[in-house]
A and B are shown apart, each in its own frame.
Chain A
Amino acid sequence: MDALLALALGDTLTRLVFFPAAACLPLLFFRREAFRAVKVYALAVSLVELALGAGYVWTHAGGGFARLAGDGAYRWIPSYGARYELAMDGISMPLVVLTVLLLPIVLLASFRGIDRHWRSFAASFLLLTTGVLGTLLAADVLLFYVFWEVMLVPMYLLIGIWGGERRIYAAVKFFLFTMAGSLLMLVAILWMGWTYHGAAGAWSFAYRDLLRLDLPPHAQLWLFAAFALAFAIKVPIFPFHTWLPDAHVEAPTGGSVILAGILLKLGTYGFLRFALPLFPRAAAAARPLLVSLALVGILYGALVAWVQVDMKKLVAYSSIAHLGFVMLGLFAFDLVAWQGALLQMVNHGLSTGALFLCVGMLYDRRHTKLFAEFGGLAKVMPLFAFFLVFATLASVGLPALNGFAGEFLILAGSYRTLGWPAAVATFGIVLAAIYLLKLLQLTLWGPITKDANRTLKDLSAREIWTLVPLCVLMLWIGVVPETFLKPSRAALDGVLTAYQQRMAAPVASAPALLRPAATEAAARVPEGSPR
C-alpha cells in the first residue's frame, strides 16, 4: 500500500498517467450547468498535467532517455504474470510531451464550440489523456493493450456526443474499426504470453521478456500480422483509412486535434515499439508490402485531399499522406529515417493540430467548413490569416519550419536503404504544396464573395493563445531540430542495433527459444523496485 501511495504521489510516471483520471472525480461535485467553473477547472487540471509532464522529463533528462526507465515493475495479476510497469525512453518521451501540451490547448480551443454537457466533455478528455499516456508508457504488453482499449470509449463519446451531423455513424465506425484490429492483437498477445510460459516456465507479458522470445519465422508472421493490423488501422495505412475522414469531419475541433495529434501516432508508435522489435524477421518480410502501402498512402492521401470541398476533410486526408511519410521512414530501418519519422510524428501533431484549430475557429464563426463559403478572409481576419499561413507552410515542409526537418530526414534516410521509393515519396511533397496552397487560396485570398464574411471578427486572445505555443514549437523544431532529435537518438539506435543483431542471428527453428538476456540491447534496467 505504501508503495502504491508513493507511486501515486511521487515524481513518477504513475502520477503523470493517473492524475487526469483522478481529477475527473471532483467533476461530480460541480453543478451540471456550471460550465464556466468546469472550464476553468479542466484547464487548470490540464496545466498541472503539463507541468507534471514537463517536470518529469526535465528531472529525468540526465539519463538521456536511452533506455526504458520508469517506476519499476509491480505485480498486477500475479497468477497470470501480468505486471504493472510504466517506463519511458526517448521514443515515447516526445509523444508524451506532445500529449500533455495539446491537452490544455484543445480544452482552451473548445471553450466556445462546446455548448453542452461540459462535465462529461472534460471527463472524456481527461480519461482519454490517461489512456493515451498509459498506452505510450506501458512496458508490459498486456497493460499496453488495456490502455489501448481504454482510449476508445472516451473518444467514442467525444465524437458521438459533441460531433457533427453524422456523428453516430462516425463514432461507431471509429470504434468498430479500431476494435476489430485490436482484438486480434489480443489473441496474439495471449499467444506470446503462453509461448513465453512454455519457454521460460513462468507467465510474463513484460515487454523486455517478450523481446527475448526467439520465434520461428512463420509464427512471427502471424503475430506480426495481428499487431500490424491493429496499428495499421490506427495510423491509418491506405486500405484501412476509411474511418479517418468520417471521424475527423464529425469530431468536434478538440477531438480532431487529439485524434490527429496523438491517437494516430499511437499506430506508428506501436510499429516502432512493438511490431518491429518483437517480430524482426516478419517485419523485414513485410517491408515491401508496407513500403508500397506507405507510398500509396502518400500519393492517394494527397490526391484525394486536393479535390476536397470541405476544409476539414482536406486536412484529414493530408494526415493520411503525412502518416505515409512516417511509415516510409519506419520501414527504412535506418537511424536517420527513424529520427525523422519520430520527429515527423510530433510535427504532424503540431501543424495538423494547428490546422484543425484554424478550421474550428472558422466553423465556430460560420458553422460551415466548405471552401465555397469562404474567400478573402485575409482582409477581415489578418491575424487568423497569419496563423493559417504559418501552419500551412509548416505542413507543406517549408525550410526553417518543422515539417521540412522531419520530411528531409525521412527522405534522406530512406533513400539510403530503400532507394527509389524515397524518390516517389518526394512527389508527395509537391502534391502537399498544391493542396495546402489551395486551402490558403480558397479561404484567405481573392475577393470576399459572401457577405457574411465581411463582418467576421478576428481571433480573440483565447484563440491566439491556443495557436501561439504550437507556432513557437514549429519554428523551434524547424530552426534547431537537434534539441528534439538528441533525446531520442540513443533509444532509437538501441532498437535498431537490436534489430540488426537479431536479423544477423540464425533463424529459430524450435517453437520458441529464449535468448539470453545479456545480448538484449533494448532490455531495460529495472530501477530497483520489487518485482
Chain B
Amino acid sequence: MNAGDVGSLAPELALTAGGVLILLADAFLPAARRAFTGLALLACGAAAWAAVARTPAGASFGGLLEATPVTRALSLVVLLAAAISLLASQGYLRRERILTGEYHALLLWCAAGLLLMLRATELLTVFLSLELLSLCLYPLAAFHRRVNLATEAAIKYFLMGAFVSAFVLYGIALVYGATGSTRFEAIARAFHSGGAAVAGVPGTPGISVLASLGVLLLVAGFGFKMSVVPFHAWAPDTYQGAPSPFVAFLSVAPKAASAMVLFRVLEAVTMGAGGIAGGRWSRVVALLAVASMVTGNLLALAQRDIKRMLAYSGIAHMGYLLLALVVLDRRSLGPVVVYLLAYVLMNSGAFAVVAMLYARPGEQHLISDLAGWGYRFPLLGACLTVSMLSLAGIPPTLGFFGKYLVFLNAVSDGLTGLAVVGVLASLVGVFYYLRVVYVLYMRPETRQPEGLLIDGWGRAAAVLAALGTLALGIWPARLLDWLLQGPLRP
C-alpha cells in the first residue's frame, strides 16, 4: 500500500469522515442538528469532486480496485441519489421528530460502501463493500423505530438480506473453488480455458458445474439487491415501511452498484467463455429481464399505495436495465449508465415528493390521497408529474431517453423481440403512472393537508430531480459525450 492507493480512496474517505464528524457533532453539539444536512451534502460534494478529479483512472491496491470512466459516472449517480435523499430527509426527520446524526452518518457510509463496490475488481472486496452497505441499510430501513410497519419492513429486509449475503459468500467460495481465484480477470481466464477444452460442443458447460452454480448464486445475490424477479419480494414491503426519503436512496443507489457488479461477473463468465457459456447466460439474463418487466408492470397496476407502486415499477425498470446486459459488450454500459441516471432522477424525485406529501408513515400511502393536490401544491405536483411521465418513458424526459438507449441497444444486438416485449410492458406502465397524474389534477380534493412539513430542502430535492429529468431529456448530448468517453463510444 502506498500513498497513491490511499489517494484513490479519497471519495470513500470523504464520505466516512463526513459521517464520523456528524456523529461526533451529534454527541457534542446536539443543537447543530439542523446543520447536518448541509454537512452531509458537503461530504457528498467532496466525494464527487474527489471521484472526478482526484481518483486517477486505473488500478490501485494491487488491482483490487479499478477506476474507469464508467465507475466514475456511476459514482456520481450514487452520490446524486444520496444528495437527493439527504435533501428530502431534513423535513421528514424534523416532522417525525427523529432528527439525529446517525441517519446522515449511516447514509454517507452506505454511499461509501457503494463507491467501493463499484470499483471492486475482486469478489472478496465486493463482498466487504456489500456488507458495509447492507449493515448501514438495515438500521436506516428501521430508522423510524416507533412505527411498527417500519420495524417489520426492516426485519423482512434484514432476514432476506442476510440470506443473500450468505448466498453471495457461498457463490464466491464455489467460484474460488472452481477457478482458484477471486479476481474477475483470473476467473475470466479460467472460464476461457475451461471453455476452450470443450469448444464446439454447444450446451455443454465449459467449466465445472461448481463454478456455474457459484455464478448463479452471485447473480441471485445481486439480482436481489437490484430487486429483479424472482428476487423481488422484499422491495414493496420494505419501501412501504422504510422512511420515504431513505427509500429515495434505497430504491436506486444499491441497484446502480449491483448492476455494475453483475456486469463484471457476467463479463468474466461470458467474455472468457466465448459464445458457448455466453449464450447460456444471455438466456438467463433475458429471462430475468422479461420476468421483471412483465411481472413488475402487471403487479404495479394493482397497487393502491404509491410506495408499493413505485416498488413494483422499480422492478420493471430493472428489467429494462437488464435488457442492456443480455448481450454483453462494451456498448452495453453506456445505456446502463444513462438509464441509471434517469432512474435516480425520476425515482428519487418521486420519493422526495412522497416524503413531503404523506404525513403518517405508519399508514398506507394511498395514491387517492393525493386527489386534487396538484392545484394545492403546484410545484410539488408538477415535479411528481414530471417524475411520473419520465418513469412512463414519455419524451422529452430523461426516462424516455434511457429507454430509447436501452431498446436501441437491444435492437442493435439483434434482440428486436425483447425490445418489443419491453415496449409492450412499458405500455402497461403508462397506465399506472398516468393514474397518479389523473389523481393529482382530475379528482376533487378528499383530504386536508395535516401535519405536513414542506421545507426548502425538500422542495430543492424535488425541483432538482424534475429539472434534471427535463433538461437532460431535452438536451442529452453533453451528458452523453461526457459519459460515453473512450471505451463506451457506441
A: residues with CB less than 8 A from B are 75-80, 117, 120, 142, 145-146, 149-150, 152-153, 156-157, 160-161, 167-168, 171-172, 175-176, 179-180, 183-184, 186-187, 190-191, 193-194, 197, 203
A160 to B396, CA, bound (A): 21
B235-273 contacts to A (CB < 8 Å): none
B431 at the binding interface (Cβ < 8 Å):
yes
Across the interface, which residues of B come within 8 angstroms of A171, CB to CB? 438, 442
Scoring B residues 388 to 419 as 1 if CB is less than 8 Å from chain A, else 0, what string do you get? Answer: 01000011100010001101100110001001
Q: Report chain A residues within 8 Å CB of B408.
A: 80, 190, 193-194
Residues of A within 8 A of B334 (CB): 79
A residues in contact with B426, CB < 8 Å: 183
Q: Which of B438-452 contact A (CB under 8 A)?
A: 438, 441-442
Closest to B375 in A: A117
When the two chains form their complex, are residues B481 and A78 in contact, meaning their CB atoms are under 8 A apart? yes
Q: Are A187 and B476 in contact (CB under 8 A)?
A: no
* With known contacts A146-B395, A172-B431, A190–B407 Cβ distance under 8 A: yes
Q: What's the least CB distance linking B172 to chain A, in Å? A: 36
Interface presence of B434 (CB below 8 A): yes
Given A79-B484, A190-B407, the answer on whether A197 and B412 have CB atoms closer than 8 Å is yes
Q: Is B201 part of the binding interface, using a Cβ–Cβ cutoff of 8 Å?
A: no
CB distance from B421 to the nearest CB of A (A): 10
Instruction: Say whether B442 contacts A184, CB under 8 Å.
Output: no
Residues on A with C-beta less than 8 A from B404 are 142, 186, 190
What are 8 A-B pairs at a CB distance below 8 A? A77-B480, A79-B477, A142-B404, A160-B442, A168-B442, A176-B430, A194-B412, A203-B490
A160 to B431, CA, bound (A): 14
B330 located at the interface, meaning its Cβ lies under 8 Å from any Cβ of chain A in the complex: no
Query: Does B464 belong to the interface (CB within 8 Å)?
Result: no
Q: Is the CB of A175 within 8 A of B490?
A: no
Give B387 Cβ to nearest chain A Cβ, in Å: 13
Cross-chain contact B442 with A161 (CB below 8 angstroms): yes
Inter-chain contacts of B489 with A (CB < 8 A):
79
| Shortest distance between the CB of A131 and any CB in chain B (Å) | 10
Considering the chains assembled together, what is the distance between the CA atoms of A228 and B483 in angstroms? 36
A153 to B394, CA, bound (A): 9
In the assembled complex, the Cα of A190 lies from the Cα of B404 at a distance in Å of 8
What residues of A have a CB within 8 angstroms of the CB of B159 in the complex? Answer: none
CB proximity to A under 8 Å, residues B84-108? none
CB–CB B400/A187 < 8 A: no
**Is chain B's binding surface mostly helix, strand, loop or mixed?**
helix
Q: Which residues of A contact B407 (CB under 8 A)?
A: 186-187, 190
Residue ranges of B at the interface with A (Cβ–Cβ < 8 Å): 334, 375, 389, 394-396, 400, 404-405, 407-408, 411-412, 416, 419-420, 423-424, 426-427, 430-431, 434, 437-438, 441-442, 476-477, 480-481, 484, 489-490
| B434: A residues at CB distance < 8 A | 156, 172, 175
Known: A167-B442, A190-B419. A80 touches B427 (CB 8 A): no
Docked pose: A193 CA to B441 CA in angstroms: 38
Further 19 A-B residue pairs, CB within 8 A, beyond A175-B430, A183-B427: A75-B477, A77-B476, A77-B477, A78-B481, A79-B484, A80-B408, A80-B480, A146-B395, A157-B437, A168-B442, A171-B442, A176-B427, A180-B427, A183-B424, A187-B420, A187-B423, A190-B404, A190-B408, A203-B490
A179-B427, A187-B411 given as contacts; is B389 within 8 A of A146 (CB)? Answer: no
Q: Is the CB of A150 within 8 A of B395?
A: yes
Closest Cβ of chain B to A206, distance in Å, is: 16
Given contacts A146-B395, A149-B395, A175-B430, contact A80 B420 (CB under 8 A): no
From residue A298, how far is it (CB to closest CB) to chain B in Å? Answer: 30
Name the residue of chain A whose CB is nearest to the CB of B439.
A168
A226 to chain B, nearest CB (A): 9
Residues of B with C-beta under 8 A to A197: 412
How many A-B Cβ pairs are below 8 Å? 88
Q: Is the CB of B480 within 8 A of A160?
A: no
**B375, B411, B441: the one within 8 Å of A160 (CB):** B441
B419 — which chain A residues lie within 8 A by C-beta?
187, 190
Residue of A with least CB distance to B430:
A179
Q: Which residue of A lies closest to B407 (CB)?
A: A190
Contact of A150 among B396, B430, B481 (CB under 8 A): B396
Interchain CB contact under 8 A, A153 and B389:
yes
Chain A positions within 8 Å of B476 at CB level? 77
The residues of B that contact A190 with a CB separation of less than 8 Å are 404, 407-408, 411, 419
Shortest distance between the CB of B261 and any CB in chain A (Å): 25
Residues in B neighbouring A172, C-beta threshold 8 A = 431, 434, 438
Taking a contact as CB atoms under 8 Å apart, the answer to whether A187 and B416 are in contact is yes
Measured between beta carbons, the chain B residues less than 8 angstroms from A120 are 441
Interchain CA distance A157-B389 in the complex, whole Å: 13
A238 to B395 Cα, complex, angstroms: 28
Bound complex: CA A79 to CA B480 (Å): 7
Q: Are A191 and B394 also in contact (CB < 8 A) when A160-B442, A175-B430, A179-B427 are?
A: no
Q: How far is the CB of B446 from chain A (nearest CB, A)?
A: 15
For A194, list chain B residues within 8 Å (CB).
Answer: 408, 411-412
CB contacts (< 8 Å) of A150 on chain B: these are 394-396
**Chain A residue contacts of B420, Cβ below 8 A:** 184, 187
Give the shortest distance, in Å, between A463 (CB) and chain B (any CB). 28
Contact B477 A76 (CB under 8 A): yes
* A194 to B410 Cα, complex, angstroms: 10
A180 to B423, CA, bound (A): 9
In the bound complex, how far is the Cα of B441 from the Cα of A197, in angstroms?
Answer: 43
B484 touches A184 (CB 8 A): no
Neighbouring A residues of B394 by C-beta, 8 Å: 149-150, 152-153
Report the separation of the CA atoms of residues A184 and B404 in the bound assembly, to the nearest whole angstrom. Answer: 12
Which residue of A77, A145, A184 has the most chain B CB atoms within 10 A of its CB atom? A77
Residue of A nearest to B489 (CB): A79
Contact present for A191 and B411 (CB under 8 Å): yes
Q: Which residues of chain B are near A152, meaning CB under 8 Å?
A: 394
B427 partner residues in chain A, CB cutoff 8 A: 176, 179-180, 183
Q: Which residues of A contact B416 (CB under 8 A)?
A: 187, 191
Interface hub of A117, A153, A183 (most chain B Cβ within 10 A) = A183
The answer to whether B423 touches A184, judged by C-beta atoms less than 8 angstroms apart, is yes
**When A76-B477, A179-B427, A187-B416 are in contact, do A146 and B396 touch as well, CB less than 8 Å?**
yes
Min CB distance A32 to B, Å, is 8
Q: How far is the CB of B290 from chain A (nearest CB, A)?
A: 15
Q: How far is the CA of A461 from the CA of B334 in the complex (A)?
A: 59
Cross-chain contact of A186 among B423, B477, B490 (Cβ < 8 A): B423
Residue of B with least CB distance to A152? B394
Across the interface, name the chain B residue whose C-beta is closest to A147. B395
Complex contacts, A117 vs chain B, CB 8 Å: 375
- Residue in A120, A187, A191 with the greatest tally of chain B CB atoms within 10 Å: A187
- A157 CA to B476 CA, complexed, in Å: 27
**Contact between B490 and A80 (Cβ–Cβ < 8 Å)?**
yes
Chain B residues positioned under 8 Å from A78 (CB to CB):
477, 480-481
- B residues in contact with A157, CB < 8 Å: 437, 441
**B481, A79: Cβ atoms under 8 Å?**
yes
Residue of A nearest to B429 (CB): A179
- A194–B408 Cα distance when bound, in Å, is 8
A191 to B394, CA, bound (A): 19
Chain A residues with Cβ below 8 Å from B411 are 187, 190-191, 194
Bound together, the chains give a CA A150 to CA B405 distance in angstroms of: 18
A187 to B441, CA, bound (A): 31
Q: Nearest CB to that of B405 among chain A residues?
A: A80
Inter-chain CA distance A203–B331, complex, in Å, is 14
Q: Return B383 CB to nearest CB of chain A, in Å.
A: 14
Min CB distance A201 to B, Å, is: 13
6 nearest CB pairs, A to B: A183-B423, A146-B395, A194-B412, A190-B411, A160-B442, A190-B408
Among residues of B, the one whose C-beta sits closest to the C-beta of A117 is B375
Question: What distance in Å separates the Cβ of B260 from its nearest Cβ neighbour in chain A?
Answer: 21
How near does chain B come to A114, taking the closest CB pair, in angstroms? Answer: 15
Q: How far is the CA of A189 from the CA of B364 in the complex (A)?
A: 42
Query: In whole Å, how far is B475's beta carbon from the nearest beta carbon of chain A?
Result: 8
Within the complex, the shortest CB–CB distance from A7 to chain B, in Å, comes to: 14
Separation of A193 and B423 alpha carbons in the complex (Å): 17
